[in-house]
Amino acid sequence: MLKAVVFKEWLKIRWVFIGMLLINFLVIINTYFNVSNVLKVYSANVYLVKLITYEILFFDDLMYIPLLTGILISVFQFFPEINQKRLKLTFHLPVQESKMLFQMTSIGFISLLLIFLFDTFLLSLVSLNFFPDEVFKSMIITLLPWFFTGFCGYFLITMVFIEPNWTKRVVVTLIGIGLISLFYSGSGYAKFEQSWWMFMAISSLFGVIIYVSAYNFKRGIS
């Protein structure tokens, strides 16, 4: 049964997955060429001092891409379920509804994880190619909240699709936007070194809210 669920979800998200993978790739390639071009003008030491002094992130083109990726994966995965209330078909399948939802969201989550691991891998190559190891470590810590926005955006939009009550949709969306904006607060490298786990906790919370909305959908609560 899991194989069938994976098959169905993949049919829905395959093009957006490939598309976003390509966009993420192009953004990072662009980052590579930007850094490469700058280093033709400045020496690596001068550029590094400039980056640290002015808190310039050499990979900041990627900042909102994970959030966009999460939102789009959710739209492509759950809009077809809500359109004409197809989720009724899904919840009528002989599987516990919570288990089905867990499997569906896990597929979206894993898709995002794969894209973000791909980003991390490529950016690591860029960083290690041009900068010392310390920059690589702080880059990873800086990237983490951005990746968490991707997961939050995914869970939030999924909740908006599934939740039948408009008031709850609006309230949770506003809270969600507020929380996601926290992820972008601050500037410079590794600002959230001590608090990245908080972002992970917030992302997990978004994941749990989906089950409340699914319960509301299943019971026709509006």
Partner 1 sequence: MTNVVEVKNLTHYYGSKLVFENLNFNIKEGSIFGLLGKNGTGKTTTINILNGFLKPTSGKCLMFDEDSYALTPATKSRVGFLIEGHVQYSFMSIRQIEKFYSAFYPKWKKEPYYELMSKLAVTENQKISKMSCGQRSQVALGLILAQDADLLILDDYSMGLDAGYRRLFLDYLIEYAKAETKTIFITSHIIQDLENFLDECVILDYKSVLLHAPLKSFLDDFKQFKFEVDNHNLKLEKDYVVKNFELVKNKATLYTFEKKSVIEHYLNNNGINFTKLSEVPMTLEEAFIGITGKY
* Distance in angstroms (rounded) separating the CA atoms of residues 129 and 204: 34
**CA 86 to chain CA mean position, Å:** 25
Considering the complex, what minimum distance in angstroms separates the CB of residue 72 from partner 1?
16
Stretch that binds partner 1, among 84-92, 112-120, 124-132, 180-188 (CB under 8 A): 84-92
221 interacts with partner 1 by CB under 8 A:
yes
Please name the residue that has the structure tokens 């978004």: 206
Q: Tell me which residues in 10-69 interact with partner 1 (CB under 8 A).
A: 11-12
Cβ closest to partner 1, residue 50 vs residue 86: 86
Cβ closest to partner 1, residue 81 vs residue 119: 81
Tell me which of 91, 118, 130, 211 binds partner 1, using CB under 8 A.
91
Cβ–Cβ under 8 Å, residues 157 and 75? yes
Q: Is 77 exposed, middle or buried (0-12, 13-18, 19+ CB in 10 A)?
A: buried
| Residue 140 in tokens | 């990873």
Considering the complex, what minimum distance in angstroms separates the CB of residue 120 from partner 1?
31
Cβ closest to partner 1, residue 4 vs residue 201: 4
Cα separations (Å) of 210 from 72, 90, 145, 169?
Answer: 17, 16, 21, 11
Cβ closest to partner 1, residue 206 vs residue 217: 217
* Distance in angstroms (rounded) separating the CA atoms of residues 116 and 65: 10
Residue type, 141: I
Q: Please report, as ranges, the residues that interact with partner 1 according to CB under 8 A.
A: 1, 3-4, 7-8, 11-12, 80, 84-86, 88-89, 91-96, 218-221
